[in-house]
Structure 1
Amino acid sequence: MSIFNSDLPLKIIDLSTVLAGPSVGTFFAELGAEVIKIEHPNHQDVTRSWKLASENQDNAISAYFSSVNYQKKYTFLDLKASSDYQKFTAQVKEAQVVLMNFKTESQKKLKVTEDDLWRINPNLIIGKISGFGTDSNRVAYDLILQAETGFMSMNGTPESGPVKMPVALIDVLAAHQLKEGILLALLQQAHQPLKKGKLVEISLYQSAISALANQASNFLMASHVPKRIGSLHPNIAPYGEIFKTQDQKLITFAIGTNLHFKKLTNYLGLMQLASDHRFSTSQLRVENRADLATYIQEKIEQLQAKEVLLAMEELQVPCAKIKNLSEVFENKQAQLMIQTESIGKQETKRVSQLAFSIK
Structure 2
Amino acid sequence: MSDGLHLLDGIRVVSLEQFIAAPYCTQMLADAGAEVIKVERPGSGDPRRWYDPKVGPDDDYISGGFASYNRGKKSVELDLSAEDDREVFDQLLGTADVLVSNLRPGSLARQGLAPDVLRERHPRLVICEISGFGTTGGPYAQWPAFDSVIQGMSGLSSLIGEQDGPPGLAPMGTMDLMSGIYGTIGILTALVGRAATGQGSHVDAAMYDIGAAFLERPLTLHEYTGEVPTRGIDRFSPVGAFRAGDGAWVSIVIPTDEMWRRCCAALGNPQLETDPELDTTLKRAEHMADRIVPLLEEWAKDMDRHEAAAALRAAGQPAGVVQTVADVRACAQLAHRGLFAPIDDERARRPDGSVLSLPRLPLLFDGQGARPGPVPRLGSDNDEFRPNHHAEVSS
Mapped pair 1:138 → 2:137: no
- Does the C-alpha gap of structure 1 residues 4 and 292 become closer, same or farther in structure 2, counting only changes over 3 Å? closer
Give structure 1 stretches of 5+ with no counterpart: none
1:255-288 per-residue CA deviation (whole Å, 9 max, x = no partner) reads 1221221222222222221110100011011122
How many angstroms does 1:10 deviate by? 0.5
Report what 1:350 is aligned to.
Answer: 358
Mapped pair 1:317 → 2:293: no
Output aligned runs, 1:146-185, within 5 Å. Answer: 146-185=151-190
Describe the SS at the equivalent of 1:296. Answer: helix
- Does the C-alpha gap of structure 1 residues 141 and 343 become closer, same or farther in structure 2, counting only changes over 3 Å? farther
Report what 2:275 is aligned to.
Answer: 276
- Does the C-alpha gap of structure 1 residues 54 and 71 become closer, same or farther in structure 2, counting only changes over 3 Å? closer
Report what 1:243 is aligned to.
Answer: 242
- Does the C-alpha gap of structure 1 residues 27 and 248 become closer, same or farther in structure 2, counting only changes over 3 Å? same
How many angstroms does 1:116 deviate by? 3.6
- Does the C-alpha gap of structure 1 residues 116 and 342 become closer, same or farther in structure 2, counting only changes over 3 Å? farther
Report what 1:15 is aligned to.
Answer: 16
Give structure 2 stretches of 5+ with no counterpart: 350-355, 368-395
Q: Distance in 1 between matches of 2:168 and 2:58?
A: 29
Report what 1:337 is aligned to.
Answer: 339
How many angstroms does 1:53 deviate by? 8.7
Q: Distance in 1 between matches of 2:226 and 2:110?
A: 45
Q: Is the Cα contact below 8 Å between 1:4 and 1:32 reproduced in 2? A: yes
Output aligned runs, 1:82-93, within 5 Å. Answer: 82-93=83-94
Q: Distance in 1 between matches of 2:56 and 2:145?
A: 26
Task: Report the residue type matching 1:320 in the other structure.
Answer: G
Report what 2:201 is aligned to.
Answer: 198
1:124-173 per-residue CA deviation (whole Å, 9 max, x = no partner) reads 11011110122211110010011111111111112431001114222222
Which range moved further: 315-324 or 171-180?
171-180
Describe the SS at the equivalent of 2:65. Answer: helix
| Residue among 204, 221, 225 paired with 1:222 | 225
- What is the TM-score normalised by the length of structure 2? 0.83
Describe the SS at the equivalent of 2:223. Answer: helix
How many angstroms does 1:174 deviate by? 1.5
Q: Distance in 1 between matches of 2:41 and 2:328?
A: 37
Report what 1:210 is aligned to.
Answer: 213
- Does the C-alpha gap of structure 1 residues 60 and 162 become closer, same or farther in structure 2, counting only changes over 3 Å? same
How many angstroms does 1:253 deviate by? 1.3
Q: Distance in 2 between matches of 1:331 and 1:291?
A: 32
| Residue among 172, 188, 193 paired with 2:193 | 188
Q: Distance in 2 between matches of 1:150 and 1:340?
A: 36
Q: Is the Cα contact below 8 Å between 2:54 and 2:61 reproduced in 1? A: no
- Whose RCO is larger (CA < 8 A, sep 6+)? 2
- What is the TM-score normalised by the length of structure 1? 0.91
Task: Report the residue type matching 1:44 in the other structure.
Answer: G
How many angstroms does 1:42 deviate by? 3.4
Task: Report the residue type matching 1:338 in the other structure.
Answer: F
How many angstroms does 1:300 deviate by? 1.4
How many angstroms does 1:79 deviate by? 0.8
- Does the C-alpha gap of structure 1 residues 164 and 188 become closer, same or farther in structure 2, counting only changes over 3 Å? same
- Does the C-alpha gap of structure 1 residues 341 and 305 become closer, same or farther in structure 2, counting only changes over 3 Å? closer
Q: Distance in 2 between matches of 1:345 and 1:120?
A: 41
Q: Distance in 1 between matches of 2:204 and 2:24?
A: 16
Q: Aligned residue pairs: how many?
A: 350
Task: Report the residue type matching 1:82 in the other structure.
Answer: E
Q: Is the Cα contact below 8 Å between 1:59 and 1:346 reproduced in 2? A: no
Task: Report the residue type matching 2:365 in the other structure.
Answer: S
Task: Report the residue type matching 1:355 in the other structure.
Answer: L
